[in-house]
Chain A
């Protein structure tokens, strides 16, 4: 893996935007958590939904559509996690894989500043308490337990396993205002339930 170093303070505005973004349709999600299980399986080789880089949060007694929300990493154009990391080697923009913001776990010192810096709730940076490091969605660039190529030009485990096809990869930068660009309607004409 070749790392392209981008210094934070002077060159922050020069971070190239990611070439792929996970978008979800929370209204289509069935809450099966298969995406969460698949995420940890392909990355860590074991299953732990609390290590998943996508989180489905649900209330069994909730009123649709507020009973479920899907929280994925937004591959922010201005990644606060990247900016917060005090270790030059730990966060990097992987220019060989579509500019995905990634964490090098071998150099992460586990300070958790990136977790705090993520402006979204829950933080999209996941604390891997088993290894004492932070981890985040890498669009499945580094999946030692899955033979498919990942990254913006490849496949993502969550997208592939979702039985409702409620998770997609898009190449266009989503609208960065609120959830508008990241939580979209993926229900087509054939969807027999709520289409709106």
Chain B
């Protein structure tokens, strides 16, 4: 077995309350995480047109060889795959991912992943203690929020002894001991009521597999939680090389007490340096907090216990409303953050729901006795009370709460407003029924295109450190720590397998429909499907191409990714090899979508992307008149016809049928995917 892997994936049959084992070696060629999850889904789900809530839907939770190891910023991340109920109009086969320590603990317990099938008759939670797996009655947990659930499970697993001392996990001298609380993944109330776009999976305080609706799928399966405790060892092929790699990586990050210098890297966004812009009400009495094995510590834990382990949108989504109500930011925003974590609610639709409902209320169409009747307390908007009332309405199914359980897009459709509001942008849901992430696809074209060509708000940041955050800071400060020409040169050198094409970073309106951008989007698909979502390198840390903290401004990618991987596994793959595996996984996914009913004619943004101008200022790199510069690209929209032309170029690049967007036999067979081609052909979904 490859170093890093245990060789076993746990298969849970919720219908029968039985377990079995899948040999990891059967799927190892797909890498890990999303690759293995996708391949297992392909094999186990014969009818890929089933609904997300069908008991035959299979959810995979898979780590990688680097889970639980010193693989930089990879030890903690875990990929979740399956059919998700969030996307509109079809719940695509989709993905989510979360950090923390669950993936590591699963590996220490002897498992490379978990596969969930069927549906339990009654609420159940699964207790994994090394190779001992039991189905436990969750009737006492059902109804509890995600934090209370985990605390109750911790108490149960420790037998009431608590944590801090060595806890022996059974009788006998051969049994391991642990000082650690179990790693638990669970749903809150949102998952229990099967809220399509809100139900997410929560681990510890702030790790969430939020997008896709997997929490709702668990709710439909009556699965409340999976708890894992492990005391085993992970075999490492070359321990010395792994330790050396870890120490080598230190040179690419600022030391913890160094001042932050904004640059073309995400590394200065650590909690040590993060200001209010990237969180809620940030308190000085706090520590930086990291996922397992990460050197960047992007989160915090605070003296109030509020906002623990939260950063990014869940931490600051409510800031503007709090400021509006109270005139300044206060602790209400941290309380609002914790509410979404506890309820297990996907914050992206929550944020857009509040915006949308507020707008409809101001328009006079939503409120008590209005066309959309609700007694939501808009006078409390900005206090945590408003969020609590909103979440409770959804959980209880009170007034519009029942509509919102189906997702905001489906609610808008029921209210007769979908087409109009997607046209105006009042409902900012540009792709597949997912809300705006925060990087508008009309400006951040890799984000928009990557999302619509796949299955969801892609939430892949790697490129946007250089194309959005760095220019955003430049627009504020007027200073560039690394000249843009140098950033482009470094990136162009490192964008394997499309190296030496600097125009992949030209986001000008003239270039945004070009083959260069097709290559950029393809690069990101392959990179994410292997190195990030497969092997687990954190989206917030990788790739590290241009980095002002690094020697000669050259970050650790693409050397780092195979360095850690090979040290752990004993393999000798190159970065390029990994990209090719990513391309293979990406092709299987497109095949699944084809079987689910996708056709290129469906691959369209919401109307407002074509008809409304991008609001500004919006920074992006452009190459105009022979010069590179960061420019404001606001004011533009996406040209429908030109985007259709871009899609054709993209499909040609991928070797897919340009009429349908489906993979072709020649492309699939060249990737060793004959069986995928055969199934597509049997269902008349094979591209020609």
Contact = CB atoms under 8 A, between A and B. Distances in A.
Interface stretch (B40-48, B298-306, B557-565): B298-306
Interface string B175-188: 11111110000000
A129 B176 contact: yes
B273 A63 contact: no
A42 B181 CA distance: 25
A55 interface: yes
Interface string B251-279: 00101111100000000000111000000
A160 B242 contact: no
Interface in B166-208: 166, 173-181, 204-206
B308 A48 contact: no
Contacts of B69: 37, 47
A51 B230 CA distance: 12
Contacts of A63: 301-305
A130 B232 CA distance: 9
A37 to B, nearest CB: 5
A163 to B, nearest CB: 4
Contacts of B8: none
A38 B246 contact: yes
B327 to A, nearest CB: 26
Contact of A30 (B177, B235, B289, B308): B289
A147 B287 contact: no
Nearest to B273: A192
Given A60-B205, A193-B287, A44 B233 contact: yes
A127 B175 CA distance: 10
Main secondary structure of the interface of A (DSSP, over half): loop
A77 to B, nearest CB: 24
Contact of B305 (A44, A62, A190, A192): A62
Interface in A44-68: 44-51, 55, 57-65, 67-68
A89 interface: no
A65 B293 CA distance: 20
B68 A191 contact: no
Contacts of B178: 50
A41 B179 contact: no
A32 B292 contact: yes
B287 A29 contact: yes
B290 A41 contact: no
Given A31-B289, A60-B308, A48 B232 contact: yes
Nearest to A63: B305
Main secondary structure of the interface of B (DSSP, over half): loop
B295 A32 contact: yes
A64 B284 CA distance: 11
A38 B297 contact: no
Interface string A179-196: 000000001111111100
Nearest to B167: A122
A55 B70 CA distance: 16
Nearest to B250: A163
A145 B290 contact: no
Interface in A149-190: 157, 160-161, 163-165, 187-190
Among A38, A59, A122, A163, the one with the most B-chain Cβ atoms within 10 Å of its Cβ is A163
Given A37-B68, A194-B286, A121 B165 contact: yes
A187 B286 CA distance: 13
B243 A47 contact: no
Interface string B96-112: 00000100100010000
Nearest to A123: B166
B309 interface: yes
B234 interface: yes
B296 interface: yes
A41 B243 contact: yes
B231 A67 contact: no
B236 interface: yes
A38 to B, nearest CB: 6
B315 to A, nearest CB: 15
Contacts of A27: 287
B288 interface: yes
A68 B286 CA distance: 11
Contact of A129 (B177, B288, B305): B177
Contacts of B204: 60
B287 A28 contact: yes
Given A49-B108, A50-B176, A129-B173, A191 B239 contact: no
A94 B39 CA distance: 53
Given A32-B295, A48-B232, A193-B272, A163 B257 contact: no
Contacts of A48: 108, 231-234
Contact of B179 (A31, A57, A145, A189): A57
Contacts of B272: 191-193
B247 interface: yes
A33 B305 contact: no
A190 B239 CA distance: 34
B415 interface: no
Among A60, A160, A161, the one with the most B-chain Cβ atoms within 10 Å of its Cβ is A60
A137 to B, nearest CB: 15
A146 B272 CA distance: 30
Given A48-B234, A160-B247, A30 B164 contact: no
A86 interface: no
A65 B287 contact: yes
B235 to A, nearest CB: 5
Nearest to B292: A33
A98 interface: no
Given A32-B297, A37-B69, A129-B174, A163 B285 contact: no
A42 B242 CA distance: 10
A57 B293 contact: no
Given A45-B239, A60-B204, A191-B256, A34 B293 contact: yes
Contacts of A58: 181
B240 A147 contact: yes
A88 interface: no
A52 to B, nearest CB: 9
10 contacts: A31-B301, A32-B291, A32-B297, A33-B293, A46-B236, A47-B70, A48-B233, A146-B243, A163-B256, A187-B257
Interface of B: 68-70, 75, 101, 104, 108, 147, 150-151, 163-166, 173-181, 204-206, 231-236, 239-240, 242-243, 246-247, 250, 253, 255-259, 271-273, 284-297, 301-305, 308-309
Given A65-B285, A110-B173, 12 more contacts: A30-B289, A32-B292, A37-B68, A40-B233, A48-B233, A49-B108, A60-B204, A60-B206, A62-B308, A68-B287, A122-B166, A163-B294
Interface of A: 27-34, 37-38, 40-42, 44-51, 55, 57-65, 67-69, 71, 110, 115, 121-123, 127, 129-130, 132, 145-147, 157, 160-161, 163-165, 187-194
